[in-house]
Structure formats: structure tokens, C-alpha cells
Amino acid sequence: MLAERDVVTPKSADGPVEAMRAIRVARNSAVKARDQATNQIHALIVTAPQGTRDRFGEPKIGKLVDQVLDADDGTLSDQAGYEAALRSLARRWKSLDAEAVQLAGQLKTIVAEASPPGLLELQGVGPDVAAALMIAAGDNPERLRSEASFAALCGVSPLDCSSGKQDRHRLNRGGNRDANMALWRIVMVRLRWDATTRAYVDKRVSEGKTRRGAMRCLKRYIVRDIYRQLTTPATVPVAP
């Protein structure tokens, strides 16, 4: 039995990281609802009569919402139903966009105050990515015994699927998918801007790996740096 032999330290939920998690839940909800309103606005315009389509032809959603709200002169036309619905959705979109921006600002402030030294300086790590990785580790990242345990938590540790003489590993689809997505965003930023990262991927591809397989290896290496930053205590300067 594992009782009293292998005790796992639970993730604490009483610090700034838990506040990040709550804010990200609210922000993601606002963004999802805003995207839904965006799709509904575009769908209404596509199916509206020709007059409404000609009146609101701006493809960019922000300018389109302003265009719809500026056209609210209180008059009714033969497309009154479409235009009333568009105005309602435009007001909803505007409110949700403001809410998402406000929550993103609050998240940025908390991350800047609570993130370990050096985490935000890593290439590809912004406030949202840092928050996702810190949430995965929790307010007590010291509970993670090794970088391998953090890699497994983020779903970037390959799983052995060897059989007979075949030595193979498969993709790990478990772990914290939010943290996994954050690592993927870091990889994409570095592939775009870092020559060393591109050279590494090209080398692994030349060795026979697929590009996706090389990117998975890259995520595993990035986890090592992230784990080091999350578990390194801040140095307190000694008073003279």
C-alpha cells in the first residue's frame, strides 16, 4: 500500500498564483464570449439584405463594431431587425472587449509582481505564458521533485511504447494542456526569431525526426529552463 509511504504534496491555493488562475478563467471566458459575438456579427451581415451588407462592409471587427454603433441614429428601415440585432451584438462585443483588456492588465500586474526572477526575461515568455506555467506549478513549486516531474505535469514527457526490438516513444496527451500550449507558444516565437532554435530543429529533422517530433524535443528542453526559473529562490541583497 502507498499509504504513509509515498506522500504527494498538493498544490497550494492561497497565493498570487491562485489569483492568476482565477483571473485567467474570467478573461478566457470573456474572450470566448467576444469571439462568439464576432462570429454572430459576421454571420448576420452575410445573411442580411444587400442594403445592410453595403452599409456595414468593414472586415475588421473592431472598426466594424464602431461602424455599427455610429450608425445607430434611432431610425428604422426595412432591415430594422438585422440592424437592431447588429447594434445589440456590437454593444455586447464592446463590453466584452473592455472586460478582457481590463483583466489582461490585472493579470500582467500580478505576474510582474509574483513571477520568479528571470522568468519573464526568457525569450517567448510573456505575462500570459508565464501565468499558465506558474499555475501549473502552483504557489509551492518546490513540491516538484525534478524537472522530469514538471515535464510530465506539462505533458511533454514522451511515453514509452516499445515492443520487442522496437524502441519507440509516443506523444504524451496528458498533463496540464494550458501549460503545454504555453510551451508551444514559446517554441513558435523562438522558431520565428531565434536562429539557434531553427538550427536545432533543422539538425533533428536531418537526423530523421519529423518537424513536429523535433518541436516536441524542443519543448522538453524549454521545460528544463522554466523549471530552473520556477524553483530558484530569489536572492535577497545583504544590507551593508
Question: What pLDDT digit, counting tens, does each position of 111-165 carry?
Answer: 999 988 889 999 999 999 999 999 998 888 888 888 888 888 888 877 655 565 5
Q: Nearest-5° angle of CA 69, CA 74, CA 77?
A: 100
- Taking phi over 0 as left and psi of -120 to 50 as alpha, with beta for the rest, 132 belongs to alpha
The mean-pLDDT minimum among 16-20, 39-43, 77-81, 175-179 falls in 77-81
Q: 94, exposed or middle or buried, with CB in 10 Å at 0-12, 13-18, 19+?
A: middle
Question: Nearest to residue 64, comparing CAs of 48, 42, 88, 43?
Answer: 42
Residues β-bridged to residue 170? 159
Enter the C-alpha cell of residue 125. Answer: 515568455
What element of type H or E holds 170? Answer: strand 169-170
For residue 213, pLDDT beyond 70: yes
Look up cell 538550427; give the residue: 199
Query: For the chain, what percent of residues have pLDDT higher than 90?
Result: 40
Cα–Cα distance, 158 to 169 (Å, whole number): 6
Cα–Cα distance, 209 to 202 (Å, whole number): 10
